[in-house]
């Protein structure tokens, strides 16, 4: 009897986020198309000013000429540059698989690279329409649990540990690269607010990471262990928590995976910059080193499916700054092309998912140092 209200509540929350996504996309498309329509009308010298037209007339002109301008910018990208960007995007997935296999090894779990890639690319497929940029982790956790008989909780825990390391590295990367563009960040009040929000996220991420790997509140200060045990499936939650603590004893591995994660985020910037170069964006690589991580920090928040709408608005706002000088249509085209690169690999993941076979393939080995 209690399942139906819970399901309805979850469905309502999902619908709300989808609506938010659509509203954000409608807002950014309408704003850009409106500007393009106004620019087109003023170039015609019709003797009637833009403001003298009715709102319906302006909307008609905007949605007639705005999409054409956007499509013109998308078509400007050089095929070679876009093809390279697809390969670069694939490299980030490849490196992520290497990191996850390293995390699995801490619990004495071995997964072949091919199988780990299968699961990761399927998770990437689901990530395209689940909330935020991490929704596919739930699918990845599900398949990780299916791969083992005796260490299901630990296998699921590795997915969350892998994500924690990746997010912490993203926040660290963003904070470091922001120092390269202090004048740019100071040039606009909204830029400053975005930077402050990312730094606040980084501070929270540091605390959360410390608690995850060192025990934190569960040391008895807040008597959380007793509360956890009273929850439904409390024993599994406590076991999951304990699986995190094991990583605190593997500092070398944490450092290695952190450095690998920083490399992944650097390659992600290369992916965006490659598309930018291919379509003639004025954004320099040093500027991208700051802009892309900031946008990525907001995309991971569960605001809209795959960060749609959030990504586009931030790309447009940040790239049309006077210090960069891209047009709104150009910035939107860049965002959509980068998302198209992600969708390409999602389609690959969809094909893999269509032929996916669930099988227990994760070998469980014994480590003498396993805690």
In order along its 371 residues, the chain shows pLDDT tens digits of 445 665 676 667 667 666 765 676 677 677 767 777 777 777 776 677 888 788 888 888 888 877 887 788 788 889 999 999 999 999 999 999 999 999 988 888 888 898 899 889 988 887 776 654 555 777 888 888 787 777 788 888 888 889 899 999 999 999 999 999 998 898 888 889 999 999 999 999 888 887 777 755 444 445 555 555 555 555 666 667 777 778 878 889 889 999 999 999 999 999 999 999 999 888 899 999 999 999 999 988 877 666 777 888 899 888 988 888 888 888 888 988 898 888 889 888 888 887 766 555 555 554 444 43
In angstroms, the CA 90 to CA 10 distance is: 33
- Provide the residue count of the chain: 371
Q: What DSSP line would sit under 79-94, residue for residue?
A: HHHHHHHHHHHHHHHH
In angstroms, the CA 242 to CA 236 distance is: 10
Q: Containing H/E element for 254?
A: helix 251-278
In angstroms, the CA 266 to CA 120 distance is: 20
Could you state, in order of their start, the residue ranges of all structural domains in the chain? 3-44+57-70, 83-362
In angstroms, the CA 286 to CA 124 distance is: 28
Burial of 329 (0-12, 13-18, 19+ CB in 10 A): buried
Q: Rounded to the nearest 5°, which phi and psi values hold at 133?
A: -105, 10
| C-alpha of 295 from chain center | 9
CB 134, CB 300: distance < 8 Å:
yes
pTM: 0.78
Q: Rounded to the nearest 5°, which phi and psi values hold at 109?
A: -115, 130
């Amino acid at each position: 009897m209690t399942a139906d209200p819970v399901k309805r509540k979850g469905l309502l929350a999902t619908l709300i986020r989808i609506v938010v996504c659509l509203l954000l996309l409608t807002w950014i498309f309408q704003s850009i198309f409106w500007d393009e329509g106004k620019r087109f009308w003023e170039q015609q010298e019709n003797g009637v000013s833009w403001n003298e037209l009715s709102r319906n007339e302006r909307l008609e002109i905007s949605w007639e000429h705005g999409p054409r301008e956007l499509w013109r910018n998308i078509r400007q990208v050089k095929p070679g540059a876009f093809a390279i960007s697809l390969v670069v995007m694939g490299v980030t997935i490849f490196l992520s698989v290497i990191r996850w296999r390293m995390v699995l090894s801490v619990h004495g779990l071995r997964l072949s690279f091919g199988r780990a890639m299968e699961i990761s690319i399927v998770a990437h497929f689901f990530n395209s329409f689940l909330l935020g940029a991490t929704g596919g982790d739930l699918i990845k956790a599900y398949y990780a649990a299916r791969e083992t008989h005796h260490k299901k909780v630990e296998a699921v825990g590795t997915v969350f540990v892998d994500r924690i390391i990746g997010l912490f590295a993203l926040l660290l990367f963003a904070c470091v690269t922001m120092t390269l563009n202090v004048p740019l960040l100071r040039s606009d009040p909204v830029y400053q607010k975005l930077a402050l929000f990312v730094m606040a996220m980084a501070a929270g991420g540091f605390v959360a990471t410390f608690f995850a790997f060192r025990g934190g509140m569960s040391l008895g200060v807040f008597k959380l262990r007793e509360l956890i045990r009273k929850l439904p499936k409390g024993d599994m939650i406590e076991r999951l928590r304990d699986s995190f603590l094991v990583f605190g004893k593997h500092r070398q591995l944490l450092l290695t995976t952190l450095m690998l994660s920083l490399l992944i985020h650097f390659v992600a910037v290369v992916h965006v910059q490659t598309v930018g170069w291919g379509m003639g964006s004025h954004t320099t690589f040093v500027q991208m080193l700051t802009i892309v991580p900031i946008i990525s920090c907001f995309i991971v928040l569960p605001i809209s499916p795959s960060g749609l709408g959030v990504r586009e608005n931030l790309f447009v706002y940040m790239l049309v700054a006077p210090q960069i000088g891209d047009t709104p249509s150009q910035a939107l085209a860049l965002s959509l092309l980068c998302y198209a690169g992600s969708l390409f690999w999602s389609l690959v993941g969809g094909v893999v998912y269509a032929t996916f076979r669930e099988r227990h393939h994760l070998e469980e080995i014994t480590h003498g140092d396993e805690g």
